[in-house]
Structure 1
Amino acid sequence: MAARYGVLLANLGTPEAPTPKAVRQYLAEFLGDPRVIDAPRWLWWPILHGVILRIRPPKVAKAYASVWQEEGSPLLAIGRRQQRALTARLAEETGDAIPVELAMTYGKPSMEEAGLKLREAGVERILVLPLYPQFSRTTTGAVFQRLAKALAPCPHLPELRFVRDYHDHPDYIDALAASVRDHWAQHGDRGRLLMSYHGIPKRYVDNGDPYSRHCETTSRLLAEALSLNDDEWFQSYQSRFGREEWLKPYTDETLKQWGADKTECVDVISPAFAADCLETLEEIDAENRHYFQEAGGGRYRYIPALNDRAEHITLLANLVRQHTDGW
């Protein structure tokens, strides 16, 4: 019997290997997306193919190699665990075998591969669940556009529903708060909490992207859930690229200043990431740790992404049930 519906989990993507060649292929697709870099193609293409894809792949490949796991890329390995855990939870809660597939906006598994598996399961209705709590045209918007491209040649389209964001969902805030509390219980004390979100160009927000507003709401709700005073937490943005102004304050500059101020202990969480990846494991847990301690800071502790924590799977299962009501 065909499934009532299927779930398509979507995330950003990853190189297939920590090598310059694989990284070059991945970056060409990622940075070639106009939703990520919206510069005119006549201007951007020579920069991308003539400069960036010649210079950056070896450096980025080295960074990937430092976090690569036996199962491969952390983002993909964790994504598979999330897929399996959500499949099991939905079966337990609904009594149905609901297919869950994982797809990446860039790289593999592709939208086409995931869609084919859902089609083979007899799925006629698909809930698309991008693993981005806060909406941005550069992430969730890119998932929508990539999916539309994948479906364009199909002679028989499925019925679709799409989770736009869940930045203020109570279960999401509860899951974040539980991860912070568990971290504090493990270490026996509290550091100043830095909530670091992936940045985007400020111009995108000026033009209507709601991303920063969503991040600010998440931060405020998490601080309230943890009963933090204003001086006990701070919000910043990481992973900027190029010379254009991005959302501020910048995470690296914040941590350098906190180090210079001799801050004794910092706890860093990255609420925009549903799974640990290069930007959390290498950039936050390694690179920014170095900035903070090199500047004179004390203890530096990274709080892992929600990954496949039970509270996170509960959130995802609840999102599925809420958005498939009537199916």
Structure 2
Amino acid sequence: MNKPPFGVLLVNLGTPEAPTSAAVRAYLKEFLSDRRVVDVPKWLWWPVLNGVILRIRPPRVAKAYASIWTEEGSPLMSISRAQQRALKAALAEEYGCDIPVALAMTYGRPSMEDAGRELRQAGAERLVVLPLYPQNSSSTTAAVHDRYARALAPCPHVPASRWITDYHQHPQYIGALADSVRRYWDEHGRPDRLMMSFHGIPKRYETKGDPYPSQCRATAAAVAQALELADDEWICSFQSRFGREEWVKPYTDHTLEEWGKAGVGRVDVISPAFAADCLETLEELEVENREVFMEAGGKEYHYIPCLNDSADHINMMVSLVRENAQGWS
């Protein structure tokens, strides 16, 4: 068969296979065992993880997953599959031939090995690796690097690969985010404040040199500029804290509580760290943090969905692939 000029490996974080305690426990064990995610020494972390967290958290997290689960399964998985199909179709139109696109999750399935077999069977010997993390962090993008290397360790033929480490200020990414907000405002009116909430990381990660928080702030500032917002009309905040140590601030939930108490009437929220809606957006942002704001005195709270498989988002991915596959077509 004719070999494709290259293939594309899309990678996202992962998801439990079912909204059950057993499935969540298996997923959390793999996820929280990664030193990129939790860098506490194993002798200290292991008893906490296995003796406390994996006993207490799975039922509660499973309940949260059940509240967002669909007939197609986990939203993260169904949206990622839709992105995979849409990108494959768009690349076929762009290049005039079939460009294989495989999906892998850093944790859970489809695994990196599953995706590798799919791409190898399609004849791809050169890969563009696209982690679906707009901002680069040791706990996400670097974890993909580690997982990719482990998957390739037994392979006699390592494919040439080009990595997209981030796209936090790519013009099409910023434009797609701003346009999604404009479309929402055209239909629902404008808020008093726009909150751009990003998944948080411990403060000490930033102190050690993790570029993620600064890239989040740069993304938020670029979107605010594109929307022509005044400084007091938007904020960059961080959500999803875990444990007792200090994380990057300002905290999303604390800020919403302060705004509610201060009489801010309407808040709209987007989450530019996520390429696909998932538990952290559909349950934490849309439900939990809505309650925080409303109970503190807020009047209206609107969550604006992620870019997901929108045409703007897929076109941006095509541009990323094209820019990184130069000379391979």
Same fold? TM cut 0.5: yes
Q: Where in structure 2 are the equivalents of 1:3-22 lying within 5 Å?
A: 3-22=4-23
Answer yes or no: is the 8 Å Cα contact 2:237–2:251 preserved in 1. Answer: yes
Alignment of 1:68 with 2:69, yes or no, is yes
* SS in structure 2 of the partner of residue 55 of structure 1: helix
**Distance in 2 between residues matched to 1:190 and 1:33, nearest whole Å:** 39
Partner of 2:260 in structure 1? 259
* 5+ residue gaps, structure 1: none
Q: Once the two structures are superposed, what CA deviation does each residue of 1:147-178 show, in whole Å capped at 9, x if it has no partner?
A: 00000011111111110000010000000001
Partner of 1:275 in structure 2? 276
1:279 maps to amino acid = E
- With normalisation by structure 2, the TM-score equals 0.99
Q: Where in structure 2 are the equivalents of 1:140-155 lying within 5 Å?
A: 140-155=141-156
Alignment of 1:58 with 2:52, yes or no, is no
Tell me by how many angstroms 1:234 deviates. Answer: 0.6
Answer yes or no: is the 8 Å Cα contact 2:75–2:278 preserved in 1. Answer: yes
Tell me by how many angstroms 1:188 deviates. Answer: 2.6
* SS in structure 2 of the partner of residue 318 of structure 1: helix
Tell me by how many angstroms 1:325 deviates. Answer: 0.3
Partner of 1:294 in structure 2? 295
**Distance in 2 between residues matched to 1:197 and 1:313, nearest whole Å:** 21
1:216 maps to amino acid = R
Partner of 2:247 in structure 1? 246
Tell me by how many angstroms 1:261 deviates. Answer: 1.3
Tell me by how many angstroms 1:102 deviates. Answer: 0.7
Partner of 1:128 in structure 2? 129
1:313 maps to amino acid = I
**Distance in 2 between residues matched to 1:189 and 1:29, nearest whole Å:** 42
Partner of 1:185 in structure 2? 186
Partner of 2:80 in structure 1? 79
* SS in structure 1 of the partner of residue 308 of structure 2: coil
Alignment of 1:322 with 2:323, yes or no, is yes
Partner of 2:223 in structure 1? 222
Alignment of 1:172 with 2:154, yes or no, is no
Question: RMSD over aligned Cα, in angstroms?
Answer: 0.6
* SS in structure 2 of the partner of residue 106 of structure 1: coil
Residues paired across the two proteins, number: 327
**Distance in 1 between residues matched to 2:170 and 2:97, nearest whole Å:** 25
Partner of 1:39 in structure 2? 40
Partner of 1:204 in structure 2? 205
* 5+ residue gaps, structure 2: none
2:21 maps to amino acid = P
**Distance in 2 between residues matched to 1:195 and 1:290, nearest whole Å:** 17
* SS in structure 2 of the partner of residue 316 of structure 1: helix
**Distance in 2 between residues matched to 1:145 and 1:289, nearest whole Å:** 36
Answer yes or no: is the 8 Å Cα contact 2:4–2:124 preserved in 1. Answer: yes
**Distance in 2 between residues matched to 1:237 and 1:207, nearest whole Å:** 18
Tell me by how many angstroms 1:186 deviates. Answer: 1.1
* SS in structure 1 of the partner of residue 44 of structure 2: helix
Partner of 2:31 in structure 1? 30
Tell me by how many angstroms 1:262 deviates. Answer: 1.9
Tell me by how many angstroms 1:190 deviates. Answer: 3.2
**Distance in 1 between residues matched to 2:160 and 2:199, nearest whole Å:** 32
Identity of aligned residues (%): 65
Answer yes or no: is the 8 Å Cα contact 2:192–2:264 preserved in 1. Answer: no
Partner of 2:195 in structure 1? 194
- With normalisation by structure 1, the TM-score equals 0.99
**Distance in 1 between residues matched to 2:236 and 2:160, nearest whole Å:** 38
